Structure 1
Amino acid sequence: MRQLHEEAEDKEVGRMPADEELFRALLHLEARAGALKSGEARRKAAITRVKLWEYLREQADVHQAKAIEDARAANAEWAELVPALAVNTPSAAYNKATRLRAAALTDLSHGDRPVRRTPEAVLEVERQAALRAAEERRAQEHAARRHGLVAPVAQRLIEHRAGLDDDGEVTFWLDQIAAVLPSCKTPTQLVSVETYVEAVVRELRKVERATARPAASTAEAQLAYAAAAELVSRS
């Protein structure tokens, strides 16, 4: 927009507010729309102004919704918000506040489309978001519990790897455990460690079938192997 006015040699372009002051900048551009000489420039500038006003309106809704949230958190009654929201009843204030929350939501069930501005649509999307958040919390809690089981078993395999058959595949998977285990924090990393433990057990069993002898040569390694095998059997 600034460039269009510079190219049109608008004498007032230097007085245009900074880009960060969007509201004042749009008012200035509206007042100086006639300074653009070509019809194409005026059309392009006007359409851009429409887009920017729409953006500003959406941002206003988001911030007004946050202000309402803060007011309610400070024990403001809906009746107190009636004049602030330019409505006539507390129920209308509640409904308008619910519709305003739509600006900050997207409907994942419909391809991230904006939420319809009805209380029913907003409440449904918020309900779905709460269900997803609860599911994520359960997954994280499960991962934490599983980590408490998997990490000690994986650590014992690493500590006593010298007593395990030095088959190439066994060594490879033990190396994978050793690489990931020290920084294992996320559910994805936990799944990786568990997969590697399963692979170690699988390869050690192959060694035992192929050689007809124990895959562990020390008591500590045998206990580590047995713990890993039990973990795998329960997964």
Structure 2
Amino acid sequence: MGAALLRAAHEDLGGPKIYYAALPAYWRRQPQVRAVAEAPMAAARLAGLVERGERLRSTWTGGSLPTPSGRFSFRSAASAAEIDSLVARVAEPEILTGVETARVVAGVDLARDPLAWLAGPVENWRVALDGGNPVGIAGTVADACFPMIAYRGLLDEPANGGTGQSGTARYGAARGDLLADAVGVLAAGGAYEVVADVDAYRVTVVAELERTGFRRIRSRVVFAPA
């Protein structure tokens, strides 16, 4: 029945579409929940869709933020041109919240052209600096359905001091410090909750969210046409 409904819906929409199976947090660890979840997922497969990944939503609801490493300074972005320039140096953003909505509603790739969707002041963007040189950028949104970290990415390592052990360690610190700075800016503006979405395979980012005080609240498994 589920597969037939999906096929009918796809026919009405002009062809197979992406389908998201909404699931509780940590559903894979709970046999009873996993058994229930298998029904809609099996229906998606029978309708000709293929599993393409999993997206996790986490939320910060207050509490102390981690003490920064002290290696970096932070400032607001100076202009839209600076944001575009820094985004162009991020190979793959690690946090993208609302990427699906941006794509469906406006045809925008949030990873490549975030300002086409995030139309707020450029001051909402935070730049992490290492000795005056940008190493990361985060886009915060305070006035959406939830305050959120809409975008966070680290600049390509070769442009900022190499890919060796010291560079990797520095990048790990930048990842956490930039996240805490962005959350702190939203909290200082009155946010009581901050949302962030991340792909499940990014285990380092998921761990950093947890260290910053985020707690996972849902999962969405992505199914796409084969």
Q: Pick 1 or 2: higher relative contact order, CA cutoff 8 A, min separation 6.
A: 2
Under a length normalisation based on structure 2, what TM-score does the superposition of the two structures give?
Answer: 0.24
Larger radius of gyration: 1
Under a length normalisation based on structure 1, what TM-score does the superposition of the two structures give?
Answer: 0.23
More strand, by proportion: 2
More helix, by proportion: 1
